[in-house]
Amino acid sequence: AFEQISVRSGSEKIIAIAQSKKHDLSSLKLKSNGLILVIEAPEKPGNIGALYRTAAAAQMDGVIIANPKTDFYNPNSIRSSLGCLFLLQTGIASTEEVITFLNEKDYFIATAALHPEAIHYREFDYKTPCALVMGTESVGLNKAWLEASHQHLIIPMSNHVDSLNLSVSAGILMYEARMKTKENE
C-alpha cells in the first residue's frame, strides 16, 4: 500500500499528514533594505526548487510566487530545493496583488525582460529595497509586470542562444544584486 502513495521508490516508508502553511503576502516581514525574488507563473516544480536553493545560497530575504501553475509543496519542488523551501519567507498571490504589495512597501521592481529599454544587468545599481522579477522560460513576463517595472534588465547572450534556464538567469541576477548591495553597505 505504501508504494501506491509514494512518489518514488526506495523511500524511508514514513508517512505524515500535515496542514500546509499559508503564504499570505501580509505575513512577510520585509526588510527596509531587502532583496527578494519574485517568480511569475512557475510551472515546473524542479525549477521552483532550484530557484529556492539558489535564493537561499544568495541570501535573498524572501521569495514571492505570483500566479503559481503548480503546487508549491510538490515533492519535486521540495526535493530539488534540498529543503530550502522551508528556509525563506514565501508569499503567494496574484500578479496584481504582488505588484500592489511591492508598491505599498516601496520596493524597486527590476524585471528580467527582453525589452527595448532594458539595460545590462551589471549596469544596474540594485537599489534596495528591490524585487527581482523573473518570468517563465516560454513566455517571459506578462504585460502587467512590464508596465510595473521600474527597470528592465537583460543578460547578454550569444546569438546562437535565445534564452537561459530560469534558475540560471535568476541566479545570475541574485548574485549580482547581493554583491552590489554588500559593496554599498
Task: Give tens-digit pLDDT for 127-180.
Answer: 889 999 999 878 889 999 999 999 999 999 999 988 889 999 999 999 999 999
pTM of the model: 0.90
Q: Supply the CATH classification number for the domain 25-183.
A: 3.40.1280.10
36 pairs with which residues across the strands?
Answer: 62, 131
Query: What are 8-46's pLDDT values in tens digits?
Result: 676 677 777 777 788 999 999 999 999 999 999 999 999
Task: Give CA–CA dist 40/142, Å, rounded.
Answer: 8
Task: Give CA–CA dist 131/38, Å, rounded.
Answer: 6
Q: Residues in the chain, how many?
A: 185
Q: Name the pairing type of β-strands 151-154 and 35-40.
A: unpaired
Per-domain residue ranges for the chain? 25-183
